[in-house]
Amino acid sequence: MCLRGDRSVGQVVKEFDLTETVVRQWVRQAEVDAGRREGLTSSEREELAALRRETRRLREYVDVLKRATVFFAKENR
């Protein structure tokens, strides 16, 4: 609504009982997604979050494998 010019940020805030900060962030992100502003698009943000989760999970796996290696190395002595 704000991007189309139907309503101002203030009107949207009042009409939907939102904070101005949130509405401005949504408008800014919509501008990024539309290519009118620099920054990460919503899909890029989602991909980045997924990659960070995957990295965290893989690091946990590596940690478990390191501990298992130490455990079995001690057991075989």
Concatenate the DSSP letters of all residues of 23-76 into one string. Answer: HHHHHHHHHHHTTSS-S--HHHHHHHHHHHHHHHHHHHHHHHHHHHHHHHHHHT
**pLDDT tens, residue order, the chain (77 aa):** 898 889 999 999 999 999 999 999 999 999 999 999 999 999 999 999 999 999 999 999 999 999 999 999 998 77
The pLDDT, as a whole number, for residue 37 is 95
What angle, 0 to 180 degrees and rounded to 10, lies between the N-to-C axes of helices 20-33 and 9-16? Answer: 120
For residue 28, the Cα-to-chain-centroid distance in whole angstroms is 15
This prediction's pTM? 0.69
Are the CB atoms for 40 and 27 separated by under 8 Å?
no
Domain boundaries, the chain: 1-39
